[in-house]
């Protein structure tokens, strides 16, 4: 499957994938996890490529991000992924579904996506979609063009959310369902007199590097809460660049942490 994604990235074919993460490598378990962060943001296929990654923390965002993922995928002609997990995937809560969109005709497709292949050409040049280029000097130029596109995505499409960060002395950084749990952790910690806020990356690529770097200038320490052995924490440490201590707390194998566990881990950072 990941080889197919890298083919799409190389040929600049848009598409959307939904990854509902589960505990453990291999067959693992049906219980929730966030162990696919590296797979989503680093890619498991060959070549220097990136996938746009959105991390919902609610059923409503799962629905909303479908439209957003397709919008970004077609805007940049790049694969996009919704990185969910077994918590949100099995959650029941109110959700407002976006309206259905009518199927576009071939003429509408060609007008909006002139690069698209629609079978037999109609009053236009034949379109060939491929990721293959045998001449290295031409392949290098294609690679450079892709890297420039990824830079534009990094500049223009970063999304994140902050909660109670105005007076925070410490920060919890979490994505997806872990961020939802961390909201309660912030509430509990505040009741105990700990001035802590929550920073939630919504896009995992593009990652909010500049925003976390700025955050590190305001707080004394950061705790990264994620349901894995420590993956996003590496990106947070790179963004912080040693400005403040960054520690990680996570549970494995499908165990979802309690808000109180995150608070206790935060106290160790303090």
Round to whole Å and give the CA distance between 34 and 83.
Answer: 9
Strands (E), the chain: 15-21, 52-54, 79-85, 160-163, 170-173, 196-201, 203-205, 221-225, 246-249
CA 221, distance to chain mean position in Å, is 23
Phi-psi region of 224 (alpha: psi -120 to 50; beta: other; left: phi over 0): beta
- pLDDT at residue number 126: 83
Helix, strand, or coil here: 262?
helix
At 104, is the pLDDT very low, low, confident or very high (cuts 50, 70, 90)?
confident
| Separation of alpha carbons 139 and 225, rounded Å | 40
- The pTM for the full model equals 0.94
How far is residue 108's CA from residue 112's CA, in Å, rounded to a whole number?
A: 6
* pLDDT for the residue numbered 128: 86
Residues 163, 183: contact at Cβ < 8 Å? yes
> Is it the case that residue 103 has pLDDT exceeding 90?
no
Q: How far apart are CA 107 and CA 114, in angstroms?
A: 10
């Amino acid at each position: 499957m990941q080889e197919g994604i890298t083919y799409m990235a190389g040929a600049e074919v848009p598409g959307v994938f939904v990854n509902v993460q589960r505990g453990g490598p291999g067959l693992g378990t049906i219980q929730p996890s966030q162990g696919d962060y590296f797979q989503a943001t680093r890619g498991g296929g060959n070549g220097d490529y990136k996938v746009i990654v959105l991390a919902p923390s609610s059923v409503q965002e799962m629905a909303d991000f479908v439209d957003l993922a397709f919008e970004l995928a077609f805007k940049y002609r790049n694969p996009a992924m919704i990185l969910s997990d077994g918590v949100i995937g099995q959650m029941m809560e109110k959700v407002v579904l976006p309206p259905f969109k009518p199927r576009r005709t071939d003429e509408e497709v060609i007008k909006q996506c002139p690069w698209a292949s629609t079978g037999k050409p109609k009053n236009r040049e034949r379109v060939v979609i491929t990721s293959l280029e045998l001449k290295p000097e031409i392949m290098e130029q294609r690679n450079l063009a892709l890297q420039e596109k990824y830079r534009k995505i990094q500049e223009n499409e970063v999304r994140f959310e902050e909660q109670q960060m105005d007076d925070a002395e410490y920060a919890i950084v979490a994505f997806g369902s872990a961020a939802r749990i961390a909201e309660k952790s912030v509430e509990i910690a505040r009741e105990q007199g700990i001035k802590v806020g929550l920073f939630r990356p919504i896009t995992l690529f593009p990652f909010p590097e500049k925003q976390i770097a700025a955050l590190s200038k305001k707080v004394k320490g950061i705790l990264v809460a994620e349901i894995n052995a420590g993956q996003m924490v590496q990106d947070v440490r790179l963004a912080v660049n040693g400005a403040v201590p960054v520690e990680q707390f996570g549970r494995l194998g499908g165990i979802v942490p309690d808000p109180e566990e995150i608070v206790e881990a935060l106290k160790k950072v303090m």
